[in-house]
Structure 1
């Protein structure tokens, strides 16, 4: 069986999970405590990060973008990186936006500080980082709202890896109660469409020990 090594509230892992689910590729989830630096896992990925996908033939792939690009080439049904050169360029631009800029300015300042930092044994949340995260999320939501208002999906007429990347980050932040959905109706409507897809259901069922999500987290009509 194909195995995805992951952390439940990792946006990168959630993006890969959504891509696998959208493509209807069967896989088994295996939680990896990356802070334990397990020797067998480091052999697969010396970087010690998740996600890591182990194919049935023994092929091991690391890095969420490398995995998703591989999946789109190896399993071309239900393309997620676009069909034309222009579409692929726009999808990749937006994936880089959310996995780079959004992650750096928002996700790391909120999710990392409030959740992952404790797991890694790096002390308490930094108040300055939290303030920056809350301030930074507002312009990102505005831009996301503009995309949602002007396009059927974030990168164009079809759902793509751009939608999955954005939703992966927002779903992790939503789990810890850090998304104010009243900020932008277009973003809320877009996210409701994404989380209503069958591929999203396993993510909504995730629960992390000691951390309960808000009541609306798994509600499709929130």
Structure 2
């Protein structure tokens, strides 16, 4: 079911046999990380979308933090936080491995993710900027971060951040890049050629395509959040 579950809604039944359940929100980039991994690995799953401003009590019983993504297994085991859920999926479902086998390379990806997580707030600063904010300065800060990512990718001499095929770190980074045009800063990629090539290649990935929303949809959702103050989690349905 696509439409989100709000407080007062009936709790879903048991996780379907042979599936794993993902509690998500259609426009959440963190939940999109888990959806990308589920799709890339071909894992049978059910998605339950949550109204993040009016969360059902039964969801808070499963995850007291009320965060998405949250996973629930057939056995009733519950996990949350996007890197934890994605690593779990890659470990439990052996097909189409996304994390490197080498402990050192795996650690490198986790270190890179820690670095990238410090870049993410700069995307939000740009999209949340008010009229009296110095938006040009915020965009310049983001550009500086993207230039450093571009340099990191350039030193690897590969198309993707983990080599010449998509790995976990690429999917962990992608959701915010999908929104670059909606943020109004897609032109920043003109200053980062390696990152632009990565962006173009990621845009063609079947899992990225399957788990994406259009720029117009992202813009409409941002408007509902930042202008109207009433997030429309069901936009487009």
Give ranges in structure 1 of 5+ residues lacking alignment. Answer: 115-124, 213-222
> Which protein has the larger Cα radius of gyration, Structure 1 or Structure 2?
2
The Cα of 1:208 is off from its aligned counterpart by 5.1
Seen in structure 2, the aligned counterparts of structure 1 residues 154 and 52 have a Cα distance that, compared at 3 Å, is same
Give, in whole Å, the separation in 2 of the partners of 1:31 and 1:168: 17
* Count of residue pairs the alignment pairs up: 200
TM-score by length of 2: 0.74
Partner of 1:210: 220
Give, in whole Å, the separation in 2 of the partners of 1:169 and 1:209: 13
Give, in whole Å, the separation in 1 of the partners of 2:191 and 2:207: 26
Q: RMSD of aligned C-alpha atoms?
A: 2.6
Give, in whole Å, the separation in 2 of the partners of 1:54 and 1:126: 42
Give ranges in structure 2 of 5+ residues lacking alignment. Answer: 1-15, 223-237
DSSP-derived class of the 1:47 partner: coil
* Structure with the bigger percentage of helix: 1
Partner of 2:229: none
Q: Is the 8 A contact 1:9 1:172 kept in 2?
A: no
The Cα of 1:74 is off from its aligned counterpart by 0.5
Partner of 1:190: 198
Alignment of 1:5 with 2:23, yes or no, is yes
Partner of 2:120: 103
Instruction: Provide, for residues 47-98 of structure 1, a one-character-per-residue CA deviation record: whole Å limited to 9, x for no partner.
Output: 1111112223322211101101111210122222211011101110111122
DSSP-derived class of the 2:53 partner: helix
The Cα of 1:184 is off from its aligned counterpart by 1.8
Partner of 1:117: none
Instruction: Provide, for residues 144-190 of structure 1, a one-character-per-residue CA deviation record: whole Å limited to 9, x for no partner.
Output: 22233333221335422211122122113333433323222221111
DSSP-derived class of the 2:220 partner: coil
Alignment of 1:201 with 2:209, yes or no, is yes
Q: Is the 8 A contact 2:70 2:80 kept in 1?
A: yes
Alignment of 1:20 with 2:38, yes or no, is yes
Q: Is the 8 A contact 1:173 1:179 kept in 2?
A: yes
Partner of 2:161: 154
